[in-house]
Amino acid sequence: MSRTESSLFFLNCRLQDPVIRPFDQLDTTAIDDILPEIPLWIKNPDYERVDWLNKFILDMWPYLDKAICANIRSIAQPMFDQYIGKFHIDAIQFENLSLGTLPPVIHGIKVFQTNEKELVMEPAIRWAGNPNIVLSVKVLSLHIRIQLVDLQVFAAPRVTLKPLVPTFPCFANAAVSLMEKPYVDFGMKILGADIMSIPGLYRYIQETIKKNNAGPYLWPRAHKVPILDPSTVVTKKPVGILHVKVIRAMKLLKMDLLGASDPYVKLSLTGERLPAKKTNVKRNNLNPEWNENFKFIVKDPSTQTLKLQVYDWDKVGGHDKLGMQLVPLDSLRPYEKKELKLNLKNGSDVDDHHKKQRGHLVVELTVVPFKEESASFKGSFSEYKRYESGIDQPPDEDGAFEGAGLLSVMVIGAEDVEGERHNNPYAIVVYRGDKKKTRMIRKTRRPFWNEEFQFMLDEPPLKEKIHIEVMSKRSGISFRSKESLGHVQINLSDVVHNGRINEKYHLINSKNGVIHVEIRWETV
**CA–CA distance, 131 with 100 (Å, rounded to integer):** 4
The full DSSP string for 482-509 is: EEEEEEEEEESHHHHHHSEEEEEEEPBT
Q: Which residues of 478-496 are buried (b: 16+ CB within 10 A; e: fewer)?
A: eeeeeeebbbbebebeebb
DSSP assigned state of 209: H
Do the beta carbons of residue 298 and residue 243 sit within 8 Å? Answer: no
Question: What pLDDT digit, counting tens, does each position of 355-364 carry?
Answer: 668 889 999 9
Measured between alpha carbons, how far is 505 from 413 in angstroms, rounded to an integer? 11
Mean local confidence (pLDDT), 100-114? 89
Q: Are 443 and 423 in contact (CB under 8 A)?
A: yes
Residue 488 is predicted with a pLDDT of 96
Cα–Cα distance between 357 and 253 in angstroms, integer?
A: 8
Half-sphere exposure of 225 (CA within 13 A, CB side): 10
Antiparallel, parallel or unpaired: β 142-155 and 157-164:
unpaired
CB within 8 A of 64, min separation 6: which ones? 57, 103
CA dist., res. 277 & res. 269, Å (int): 10
* Confidence tier at 235 by pLDDT (50, 70, 90): low
Whether the predicted pLDDT of 1 surpasses 70: no
Mean local confidence (pLDDT), 311-332: 87
Of residues 470 and 216, the one with the higher pLDDT is 470
d(CA 319, CA 498): 47
* 162-191: average pLDDT: 83
243-272 per-position pLDDT tens digit: 999 999 998 988 766 667 889 999 999 887
Give the pLDDT band (50/70/90) at residue 210.
low
Predicted confidence at residue 168, as pLDDT, reads 82
**For residues 441 and 426, is the Cβ–Cβ distance under 8 A?**
yes
**Residue 176 near residue 223 (C-beta atoms within 8 A):** yes
What is the enclosing helix (H) or strand (E) of 379? helix 374-380
17 pLDDT band, cuts 50/70/90, is low
What is the set of domains in the chain, with CATH numbers? 33-230 (no CATH), 240-348+357-369 (2.60.40.150), 405-523 (2.60.40.150)
The band of 444, judged by pLDDT with boundaries at 50, 70 and 90, is very high
Q: What is the DSSP letter of 198?
A: S
b/e map of 69-93 (b: 16 or more CB within 10 Å)? beeeeeeeeeebeeeeeeeeeeebe
Least confident residue range of 67-76, 301-310, 380-389, 433-442: 380-389
The pLDDT tens digits for 177-193 are 888 778 888 777 886 66
Mean pLDDT (whole number) for 90-116: 88
